[in-house]
Amino acid sequence: MTCSPNGPIAKSVTWEKVAQLGMPEQIGCPDIRPLGPTVAQLLKAPKVTQATLAGFLAIVTSDYKSFGRVRDQYRGACNVPIPVEVIALIGEKLVGKARWSKEGRDARTETADKQHVEWQAKADVVWRKNKKLSLTAVAQRIAPNNWNYVRQLIRKPKK
């Protein structure tokens, strides 16, 4: 076990991995890793490249599809709803189809990695309370609507 400001965490989720992938505040480790340029950074930059804009659009699209919202640092003073399909068209025109696909894939992978680490952290908490539970039982407790998928991703800590 490793200690955090909010209590112990299991070794299967090390602070290095948490810091690398980013985690929500509720498990005691703030997301300190920059994802890409924020709105403030784009506005302050003397020159913004097409690739930078495409990366920003990929992050915004991934956040919206995964969480149903966009994080505050990627929002402007006045936001206008734009369909994600239109954002994809803009990104594709900015940097080409191959580069846009890579940017989108990278953003989706990053979002998924964060979710996997979050599920593992929740699973570790459940296993700390009841070590005899199976992968399926733990997955059903931490993600009742998506338990079969989560069951394949979580790993039971070694004794």
Q: Which two tokens stand for residue 66?
A: 């995964």
What was the pLDDT predicted at 34?
54
Angle at CA 51, nearest 5°, toward 46 and 52? 45
Q: What is the pLDDT of residues 114-151, one digit of tens each?
A: 889 999 999 999 999 998 999 999 999 999 998 999 99
Tens-place pLDDT, residues 122-131: 999 999 999 8
Query: Which residues in the chain come in under a pLDDT of 50?
Result: 1-5, 7-12, 15, 22-26, 30, 32
pLDDT value at position 74? 79
Rounded Cα distance, 22 and 30, in Å = 7
